[in-house]
Chains A and B, each alone.
Chain A
């Protein structure tokens, strides 16, 4: 199901995120891979699940294989694809392949640089940038490839893109967001935001683009994680107040505390967005609790 249907009827769209395994999926039909285990925690709490594409440039099972697996089990995947590892031929072919394998939603990103990952000596491709990729995905849906050749059958998917409200200068990020809208982006997910002012300054300008935006939140698990993100994770800043609050909770209570803090933040800002994208970094089991704190009614279960 395309998320478009949900946005169009005014649903507050809830998504979360899982990462494919470092390894293959065994042939044993009873084996449940970790990303599927995580998805099970999300069943009934979210409308859709992002599946990351070699996130942070760490080599893993492909996002398409994991997306197809989740789809087969009744979940709604948002297939992520980045420009880092594929040239324009591979990117277009992957989009056609994804549609052909039943994928309805995709999120098109630049991708973290190879230098951040576990294969630092790899050749970073970046043949296209994310704006160009969005345009090309939109053109494929119109029935032609980027060289202008007609397609025998065209894909039909819901095209998502990413924007970072933390970026300074914000105007430069908004110029790019504008380009993504013009190129054919149908919805947006934001990078992780923690700061109220960042949310407000961003949404005041971004809502003019008239595309549904999901507020992105990353669950803060510990004060160490906050400090680590401030030091090492590009484009994200965690305010000191967040770090102190999670740090004040005993270690055994941190899942509960993290759910409360994340839920409170979402509750405060949910009316400004058309949905939320919760990145739990493995703590998928607290997503129902986060939504309860955010006072968001969960959608009906989709998978068994």
Chain B
């Protein structure tokens, strides 16, 4: 999921020009889990903007809980069919969701003015109702087979691939004494699994071309093609 956190209301209000009519769109999946743009927060945002003198012409979180705003065909259908009247009046859309959701609203409205209501902060695991943690950096070249499934790109502050720097103290990272050293986590896990052998041997530098942006993925039921500056990679999911 894409973790998001709402921008301060003053910042959002500053985006909106005097007299600008705004339609608020939330996301009923990730932003709902983050309490940054679910049904409640979206309705509340409309009211908060109203109280600050912003004219809100409508609001919605398209679909049932679990439905992502970034599913373009669904979002487009909801906005055009269920909110056709309000949208006609809207000068702009405030999106309570991640950056993908913001772009989905651009696509769904054929290029309307949009305002981001959230900062998109990371891709994370929903560990519980209250905790969302980052375990993957979306780098395009997964190395975690050799690290017990724990990502050094993400869990090590320096994204080191061949082991820890010398900076850890009492198992904590030099950057923050509250934060675990990612490499010690990897070591302890592999030790527990009896697979410390995986730590031996040289790990090549990352191919950052696979991390170059923007990237695209073309999918079909049988194969997928990943495009980055590292080139096109097509993989079949069948024998």
Report if B154 contacts A (CB, 8 A): no
Residues A129 and B162 in contact, CB atoms below 8 Å apart:
yes
Report if A33 contacts B (CB, 8 A): no
A129 and B158 in contact (CB under 8 A), knowing A173-B164, A191-B166? yes
Residues A179 and B205 in contact, CB atoms below 8 Å apart:
no
Residues A127 and B205 in contact, CB atoms below 8 Å apart:
yes
Complex interface: chain B residues within 8 A of A135 (CB): 202
Residues B205 and A234 in contact, CB atoms below 8 Å apart:
no
Residues A116 and B174 in contact, CB atoms below 8 Å apart:
yes
Report if A167 contacts B (CB, 8 A): yes
Residues A175 and B167 in contact, CB atoms below 8 Å apart:
no
In-complex Cβ contact of A146 among B174, B176, B205 (8 A): B205
Report if B7 contacts A (CB, 8 A): no
A76 and B199 alpha carbons, distance in the complex (Å): 37
A235 and B183 alpha carbons, distance in the complex (Å): 14
Nearest opposing residue in chain B for A164, CB measure: B166
Residues B168 and A167 in contact, CB atoms below 8 Å apart:
yes
In-complex Cβ contact of B202 among A116, A131, A169 (8 A): A131
In-complex Cβ contact of B174 among A130, A162, A235 (8 A): A235
Residues B167 and A132 in contact, CB atoms below 8 Å apart:
no
Nearest CB of chain A from residue B207's CB, rounded to whole Å: 11
Complex interface: chain B residues within 8 A of A172 (CB): 163-164, 183-184, 187, 199
A126 and B206 alpha carbons, distance in the complex (Å): 11
Report if B204 contacts A (CB, 8 A): yes
Complex interface: chain A residues within 8 A of B167 (CB): 112-113, 164, 234-235
Report if A159 contacts B (CB, 8 A): no
Interface residues of B in 150-201 (CB under 8 A from A): 157-171, 174-176, 183-184, 187, 199-201
Complex interface: chain A residues within 8 A of B187 (CB): 169, 171-172
Report if B232 contacts A (CB, 8 A): no
In-complex Cβ contact of B163 among A166, A168, A176, A237 (8 A): A176
Interface residues of A in 201-232 (CB under 8 A from B): none
Nearest opposing residue in chain A for B165, CB measure: A110
Residues B174 and A112 in contact, CB atoms below 8 Å apart:
yes
Report if A70 contacts B (CB, 8 A): no
Report if A196 contacts B (CB, 8 A): no
Interface residues of A in 85-117 (CB under 8 A from B): 88, 110, 112-113, 115-116
Report if B77 contacts A (CB, 8 A): no
Complex interface: chain A residues within 8 A of B202 (CB): 131-132, 135, 179, 182-183
In-complex Cβ contact of A126 among B160, B171, B184 (8 A): B160
Report if A124 contacts B (CB, 8 A): yes
Nearest opposing residue in chain B for A162, CB measure: B166
A173 and B168 alpha carbons, distance in the complex (Å): 11
Residues A126 and B163 in contact, CB atoms below 8 Å apart:
no
Report if B215 contacts A (CB, 8 A): no
A183 and B163 alpha carbons, distance in the complex (Å): 14
| B160, B165, B170, B184 pick with most chain A CB within 10 angstroms | B165
Nearest opposing residue in chain B for A167, CB measure: B166
Complex interface: chain B residues within 8 A of A84 (CB): 158
Complex interface: chain B residues within 8 A of A183 (CB): 202
Nearest CB of chain B from residue A97's CB, rounded to whole Å: 21
Nearest CB of chain B from residue A131's CB, rounded to whole Å: 4
Report if B208 contacts A (CB, 8 A): yes
List 17 A–B pairs whose Cβ atoms lie within 8 Å, in order of A's numbering: A83-B158, A113-B167, A126-B159, A126-B160, A127-B208, A129-B158, A129-B162, A129-B205, A131-B163, A132-B204, A168-B170, A172-B183, A173-B164, A173-B166, A179-B201, A182-B202, A234-B167
- The 7 A-B pairs at the shortest CB distance, nearest first, are namely A164-B166, A234-B174, A176-B163, A234-B167, A131-B162, A129-B160, A110-B165
